[in-house]
Structure formats: structure tokens, C-alpha cells
Amino acid sequence: MIKVKKGTPLIDQHDKNYMYNGKFGGNFIPETLKKPVEDLTILFEKLRKDKQFLKQRDHYFKNYVGTPTSFVKLKNLTNYLGGAQIWAKVVSEANGGAHKIYNATVHALICKKAGKKFIVGDTGAGYAGKMLSMAAKKFGLKCKIFMGAKDIERQRPNCEAIKNNGAEIVPVYTGSKTLVDAVSECMRYWVSNCDTTHMCVGSTVGPNIFIKICAWSTAQISRELIIQIKKKFGEIPKKIKLINCVGGGSSALGFWNSFIDYDKNQVELIGVEAGGPKNSKLHAAPLSTNAKVGILHGAAQYVIQDKEGQISNTESISAGLDYPGISPIHCFLKDIKRAKYTSATDEEALEAHQLVTNFEKISPSLEPSHAFAEAIKIAPKLNKETIIVVNSCGDAKKDRDILKKRLGKKI
Ligand SMILES: *Cc1c(COP(=O)(O)O)cnc(C)c1O
């Protein structure tokens, strides 16, 4: 069986065709996209080795994103559940309230390095768009966000935020009028304007270079975490489980990156997908439901599809996880059994959100609440030497309306 290549960053575990484990990823793109993708690849491969660029990245991560984020023990929750110790990496402290700002900031920096003044991106629920518009404003870039017309209807507060940051929303009326079509339309625009315009993809999906840039950006999370863990425990504990929700997979890959070389019996990686409503067949969990391999947004991956290979509808209470595909790197980690994937239902996530907020000072959004649901499930069965760390990658403020509707709760 193919294993992780020790000492090689997760993003570089592919072959010369940009495929992970020979099956996932690649660049399945139209001829017209080849040149801009190639140019960006050359630029990024140069920048990631450029000391000046790394210094700049670190500067903005510290002073703009607000890193390092804290690593805290959830003492009350631990005591209540009994069993394993539950800790949280509070990534929601980052500017904008979630990890998407890491990728957006790096793309804005790349855009400037490329000498471009315009930046475009796609968004589904609006958070990737909101974060990109924030970063664009910070770095003085003109920003367009492509968004399905149907999503614009459903996600008004985020649309307002995008506009308030001075960005333009381009409504997409083709296809299902949602994220899938917004991505296609954004790429089309980029092809025609790539001399002046840079494109950002909001998660670790799409043609290989976008997966790389995004995971390279979120890797900051585990760079901090490994230092914080060693400081607290003196070493990496004998049994530690890193639990993260997975939508496109960027927060999980960033959370796991520095731990990939450790033995899986010591550092276990657990990804939690969106299981959807309890009594529904709909979900957004390609890995834990053994979906078939297909091509989505330029890359081969496990993707939720019907018998004819058409992308199926997905459903989840958390907008951030509601995506039919998944990063090719996660497909690779699943195949080689380095990471384990499971799912939590809407109801379990809601319950976990309540439990965590009742006991602790943090208020995880519905996405990380899926990860907390898994922690809550397994902690009581484990001994107190076992350490569970959950990436609390988003703040619940953004879920205010849905939490109020489902829990009658004001936050
Ligand atoms: C977008 C989002 C996600 C899902 O995206 P990943 O790329 O899987 O991390 C998860 N949590 C939050 C808070 C988000 O905003």
C-alpha cells in the first residue's frame, strides 16, 4: 500500500501528474485554463521558498489574522463527560471568525506579488466571499465575488458584508444557480482576464495549485498547535486524537499538516463530515458514505453522485460543509488509512453546540460542532491519558439566525 512520504508536506504527496495515490486530484481543466494555472503554479512554487514572502506572510498572519490562536483545555466538558481530556484549538479567534481568512490573506499577497490589482473568487454560503472581500479591502485590491443567484437569495447577511467591504457580487444564473455554477463562472471570467486578475478558490479543492495554496495557508494552524502541545505536555502525548469537521477540507488539512509523519496509533486524525438531517437521505458526506470517484471543479475525488454520475443534491445545517466533493488530499488520506472519516447529523451538531456553549466560554459554529459531536461521542469511552483536540474553526455568531430558529436561542 502507498504510504505518506515521510518528511514531505501533505500538499506535495502527489505524483508528476499532480495525482495523489495515482487516483485523486490532477488538473482536469479546459485548454484555456492551462496557461493561467501554469503561471500561478510557477509563481507560487517560487514564493513558498522566498524568505521575504514568508516574512510577509508571517507578519500579516500575526498582525492582521491574529495568530497564534489559543489552545485551551475544556475542563468543564471533560469533567462532565468523564474519560478523555478534551482540548480545543480556538481558530475562531482569527480575524473574521474562521480559518478562511488564512487562505484569503495569502491569495491577496500572491495577487500583489503577481502585480495584479483585481482579485476574484467564488462563494456558496458567502463566507469565502466575505473573507476574500475583507482581505481585498485590507490590501487595496478590487474584488469580484461570483455567487449563485439562489445563494444570493439565501445568504443576505453575508452579501451585505461583501458589499460593505467594497466588493462587487456577480450573480450567476446558470445551472443550479449555486456554488458549483459560481465556481465555473468565476473560472471563465479568470481565463479572459488573467493578465490583470488573480483568482482565489475558497477551500482545498479545484485544480492542484489552488489545493496547494489553500492547505499551505491553513497549515499555520498545526504549526502553532504542535508548539502549543509540546509546551503543555512536554512532548507529543502517547495517545492524541485530532478531530476536525470537513467540508472542502481546508481547516482539517491545516490542523493535521504538522502531524502527518507521526504514527497513526499515536496521533489519530479524525474527519467529521456533514451527515445531514437525521431522517433524510440527503447529506454532504462523500468519504464516510463511500461515494464514487468523479471529477468536480478540475480534480478527481470522491463525490456524491447519482447512478449516471450527475452531482447529487446535498443537505446540511451547516452551510460551510454543504459541498458534494472533498479535497483530493482527504481522499488520499482515507485510502491509505492515515485519517479516519465519520459523520454527524444536523441534530447531533446542534446538541454538541449547546453542550459546549453551556459548559465553556467558546461558541463553536455549526461546522466545528460536527467535530465536537464526535468528541462527545468517543470521550467517555477513553481513559484520561488520552488527549482529544478539536479544531473550533468557526464562531457561532454567523449561525445566529439558524440557531435561533432551531434552538430558540439568542446569541
Ligand atoms: C467554510 C467552513 C468550513 C468548511 O470548509 P473546510 O474547507 O472543510 O474547512 C468549516 N468551518 C467553517 C467555520 C467554515 O467557514
For the residues of 71-89, what is the DSSP string, one character each? EEE-HHHHHHH-SSEEEEE
List the residue whose alpha carbon is closest to atom 12 of ligand 1.
394
Is residue 379 pLDDT above 70, yes or no? yes
Residue 343 cell numbers, joined: 459523520
User: Which CATH code is given to the segment(s) 31-61+99-215?
Assistant: 3.40.50.1100
Tell me if 327 CB under 6 Å of ligand 1.
no
Q: Give pLDDT, residue 410.
A: 57
Segment 45-58 shows an average pLDDT of 98
Percent of the chain at pLDDT > 90 equals 90
Split at pLDDT 50, 70, 90, the class of 409 is: low
Q: State yes or no: cis peptide before 68, omega within 30 of 0.
A: yes
Longest dimension (CA), the chain: 58
Q: How far is ligand 1, taken at its centre, from the CA of residue 31, in Å?
A: 30
Picking from 314, 317, 303, the residue whose alpha carbon sits closest to that of residue 368 is 317
End-to-end C-alpha distance for the chain, whole angstroms? 48
- What pLDDT is stored for residue 10 in this prediction? 96
Probe residue for ligand 1, chosen from 200, 251, 270, 392 as the CB with the greatest number of ligand atoms within 8 Å? 251
Q: Can you give the pLDDT at residue 285?
A: 97
Q: Is the CB of 250 under 6 A from ligand 1?
A: yes
Determine the pLDDT at residue 123: 94
- Cα(142) to centroid(ligand 1), Å: 24
Q: What confidence score (pLDDT) does residue 221 get? A: 98
**Mean pLDDT of the residues in the chain:** 96
Asked which of 184-193, 251-260, 309-318, 343-352 is least confident by mean pLDDT, the reply is 309-318
At the topology level, CATH places domain 67-97+219-407 in Rossmann fold (3.40.50)
Query: Candidates 250, 366, 392: which one to mutate for ligand 1, based on the most atoms within 8 Å of Cβ?
Result: 250
Each residue of 117-140: pLDDT tens digit?
A: 999 999 988 999 999 999 999 999
Query: Which of the four pLDDT bands, split at 50, 70 and 90, describes residue 220?
Result: very high
Give the model's confidence band at 43: pLDDT under 50 very low, under 70 low, under 90 confident, else very high: very high
Task: State mean pLDDT over 156-165.
Answer: 94
pLDDT exceeds 70 at position 411: no
Ligand 1 within 6 A of CB of 322: no
For the chain, give every residue range classified as CATH 3.40.50.1100: 31-61+99-215, 67-97+219-407
Query: Distance (Å, rounded) from C-alpha 276 to C-alpha 245?
Result: 13
Q: Is the CB of 301 under 6 A from ligand 1?
A: no
In three-state secondary structure terms, 380 is helix
The answer to pTM > 0.95 is yes
pLDDT digits (tens, 9 = 90+) for 298-311: 999 999 999 999 98
CA 65 from chain centre, in angstroms, equals 16
Residue found under cell 487562505: 103
Q: 244 C-alpha to center of ligand 1: Å? A: 10
